[in-house]
Amino acid sequence: MIQKPRGTKDIYSEEMDIYNYIAKVTFNVMKKYGFNEISTPIFEKSELFLKGVGEDTDIVNKEMYTFDDKGGRSITLRPEGTAGVARAYIEEALEMKMGLPLKLMYNMQVFRYEKVQKGRQRQFTQIGGELFGSPNPYADFEIIKICMEILKELKIDKNIVLKINSLGNKESRENYKKVLAEYSDKNIEKYCVTCQRRRETNILRMLDCKEKECKKLNNDAPKIIDYLTEEDKNHFEELKKYLDTTKLKGEYEVDPYIVRGLDYYNRTVFEILDADKKAILGGGRYDGLIEKLGGKSTEAVGFAFGGERVKDIILEKYTEKQKQELKQKVDYVIVKEYGVENNIYANTVAERLREKGFVVIDELMDKSFKAQMKNANKIGAKKAIIIGKEEVQNGVLTIKDMESGEQIQIDKEEI
Ligand code: AMP
């Protein structure tokens, strides 16, 4: 048997219903804020991610699915959504076509060659949004608010933690990087090997190291918040002011260790973690990306969450009844003896019901009455329409309520 590649999944039945539900709820929330859906290619030229995500990041260093196509071009399966959407924004001149601020949402498959474990796959779903054109903290606030609203609508907003931080603009970061370098150099041999490398390549990433010893060292490290320029500080303070006017007052944490793994972020960054401290969602501002990719300088802020992580939380938190409600509903199952005359009769009934919007499953096999009833139960049909010789002869239908077992007979024309 040929098996699927490691780190990928087949999705069907209950899980598929949950995915569709997550996407629907998310997009419904985002539509209320004026987001439009965008779809970009699954693969892009590799240079997009080298430039966009950053050459010193884990994603680009270790995790990209990169290959030469038959024309000898270096191609990469997208490891995240933002770079592709930013490329499309520039290439398609979306500023001209759609105006600013522009809000784009997506539901996409992304690919990272990661160490596979629970909640960490090599192909996974990112659902998110990007907002182009506003430099203001009120836009950051709107994005964070949308994230919290999505989790609330999905009924998984209990026991989650919103963490925010500011990485400032270049000047703040350069100031801070110097201080951090001085601090870490004093103890450099105590850091893990990866952090010793990060010290040289991407020093901010030292802050989100999960190694115990590094964490301890980071606890005493200088905090970026204390090195922000006046402008950056005001930007962050304004964002907090807005958050403090909502139910989030007192519910979010400023966490100086949130730096996010990608190079393009500046100023606001944020993450939402579940009760086990696993990241559900991440986002932030990336004012420099569009220009870096060759577009006109355009401020932007966005977010994305992992569909699988949200799905797992739903599977864990939802009651059986809640899960049942997400299932694709079957209104009617037609139970009949297979045969041309019966099929024609059944088809007219099914057609009429489907026109009215009902889900109708007509019998296509040649199963026994008992097997058909069993199947109707299994797929959770609400009613069975029984079509036998007698029904066809008299132009009637026998309708059985699958829950109460009650049976009635009606004229076929009444349906
Ligand atoms: P990131 O772009 O790394 O911040 O990822 C955004 C979100 O995607 C995270 O908060 C996770 O929920 C999810 N995610 C990231 N990496 C993986 C992975 N390898 N497998 C499944 N979900 C992931």
3-state secondary structure 252-276: EEECCCCCCCCCCCEEEEEEEECCC
* Distances in whole angstroms, Cα of residue 400 to Cα of each of 42, 329, 349, 384, 403: 48, 17, 15, 5, 9
DSSP line for 358-380: --EE---S---HHHHHHHHHHTT
* Ligand 1 center from residue 263 Cα (angstroms): 16
Tokens read off for 77: 């399966």
Structure tokens at 296: 């006109």
Residue owning the nearest CA to atom 16 of ligand 1: 120
**Which of 259, 281, 311 best tests ligand 1's pocket when mutated (most atoms within 8 Å of CB)?**
281
DSSP-based three-state secondary structure for 112: coil
Pocket-forming residues, ligand 1, beta carbon under 6 Å: 80, 112, 114, 119-121, 124, 126, 261, 279-282, 304-306, 308-309
Mutate to test the pocket of ligand 1, among 258, 308, 312 (most ligand atoms within 8 A of CB): 308
Helix, coil or strand: residue 412: helix
To test ligand 1's pocket by mutation, which of 210, 305, 312, 314 has the most ligand atoms within 8 angstroms of CB? Answer: 305
Q: Residue 124 has what pLDDT?
A: 98
Name the pTM for this structure.
Answer: 0.93
305 Cα: distance to centroid of ligand 1 (angstroms): 7
| CA-to-CA dists, residue 366 to 339, 342, 363, 391, 411, angstroms | 9, 12, 8, 18, 25
Q: Along the 415 residues of the chain, how does pLDDT read in single tens digits? A: 999 999 999 999 999 999 999 999 999 999 999 999 999 999 999 999 999 988 778 888 889 999 999 999 999 999 999 999 999 999 999 999 999 999 999 999 999 999 999 999 999 999 999 999 999 999 999 999 999 999 999 999 999 999 999 999 999 999 999 999 999 999 999 999 999 998 998 898 899 888 999 999 999 999 999 999 999 999 999 999 999 999 889 889 999 989 887 778 999 999 999 988 899 999 999 999 999 999 999 999 999 999 999 999 999 999 999 999 999 899 999 999 999 999 999 999 999 999 999 999 999 999 999 999 999 999 999 999 999 999 999 999 999 999 999 999 999 999 8
